[in-house]
Amino acid sequence: MDCEKTKAELLKEKLFSVKKNAYLEMSENEIDEAYDFCEGYKDFLTKAKIEREFVTETIARAQQMGFSEFDRSRKYAPGEKFYVVNRGKAVILCVMGSRPLTDGIRLTAAHIDSPRLDLKQHPLYEDKEIALFKTHYYGGIKKYQWSTVPMSLHGVVIREDGTSVDVNIGEDEGDPQFCVCDLLIHLADEQMKRPAAKVITGEELNLLVGSRPFKDDKASELVKLNILNILNEKYGIIEDDFISAELEAVPAYKAADVGFDRSLIGGYGQDDKVCAYTQLEAIMEIDKPAYTCCAVFADKEEIGSTGNTGLESSFLKYFIYRLADAYGLSGIDVISATEALSADVNAAFDPTFPDPIDIRNGAKLNYGVCVTKYTGARGKSGTSDASAEFVGKVRKLLNDGNVKWQTGELGKVDAGGGGTVAMYLANLDIDVIDVGVPVLSMHSPFEITSKVDTYMAYKAFKCFFEER
For Mn ion, give the closer residue by CB, 272 or 339.
272
DSSP states of 404-446: -EEE--SSSTTS-EE--THHHHHHTT-EEEEEE-EEBSTTSSS
> What mask, x for binding Mn ion by CB under 5 A, covers residues 254 to 273?
-----------------xx-
Q: 406 to 465, contacts with Mn ion by CB under 5 A?
A: none
- CA dist 351 and 362 (Å) reads 12
- CA dist 457 and 190 (Å) reads 46
Please report, for residues 168, 241, 345, the alpha-carbon distance to residue 238 in angstroms, rounded to integers and kept in the order given: 17, 6, 40
Torsion of CA 311, 314, 316, 321, to 10 degrees: 160
> Which part of the chain contacts Mn ion (CB under 5 A), choosing from 216-224, 313-321, 337-345, 350-358?
337-345
For Mn ion, give the closer residue by CB, 275 or 293.
275
Kindly state the number of chain residues that form the binding site for Mn ion, as judged by CB under 5 A.
Answer: 3
For Mn ion, give the closer residue by CB, 226 or 407.
407
Taking the complex as a whole, how short is the minimal distance between the CB of residue 140 and Mn ion, in angstroms?
7
- CA dist 180 and 208 (Å) reads 6
Taking the complex as a whole, how short is the minimal distance between the CB of residue 110 and Mn ion, in angstroms?
8
265 three-class SS = strand
Taking the complex as a whole, how short is the minimal distance between the CB of residue 37 and Mn ion, in angstroms?
21
- CA dist 155 and 168 (Å) reads 7
Taking the complex as a whole, how short is the minimal distance between the CB of residue 141 and Mn ion, in angstroms?
10
For Mn ion, give the closer residue by CB, 271 or 466.
271
Taking the complex as a whole, how short is the minimal distance between the CB of residue 144 and Mn ion, in angstroms?
18
Length of the chain: 468
For Mn ion, give the closer residue by CB, 91 or 334.
91
Q: 272 to 291, contacts with Mn ion by CB under 5 A?
A: 272
Nearest one of 29, 92, 137 to 314, comparing CA atoms: 92
Amino acid letter at 266?
G
Taking the complex as a whole, how short is the minimal distance between the CB of residue 265 and Mn ion, in angstroms?
16
294 three-class SS = strand
Query: Is residue 344 within the footprint of Mn ion (CB under 5 A)?
Result: yes
Which single residue brings its beta carbon nearest to Mn ion?
272
Pairing status of strand 438-439 against strand 417-418: unpaired
12 three-class SS = helix
For Mn ion, give the closer residue by CB, 223 or 316.
316
Taking the complex as a whole, how short is the minimal distance between the CB of residue 272 and Mn ion, in angstroms?
4
- CA dist 302 and 112 (Å) reads 9
For Mn ion, give the closer residue by CB, 126 or 453.
453
For Mn ion, give the closer residue by CB, 110 or 293.
110
The whole-angstrom distance between residue 208's C-alpha and the CA centroid of its chain comes to 27
Taking the complex as a whole, how short is the minimal distance between the CB of residue 126 and Mn ion, in angstroms?
34
Which phi and psi angles does 102 have, rounded to 5°?
-70, -5
| Cβ burial, residue 18 (10 Å; 0-12/13-18/19+) | exposed
Taking the complex as a whole, how short is the minimal distance between the CB of residue 247 and Mn ion, in angstroms?
21
For Mn ion, give the closer residue by CB, 344 or 453.
344
Residues that bind Mn ion (CB under 5 A): 271-272, 344
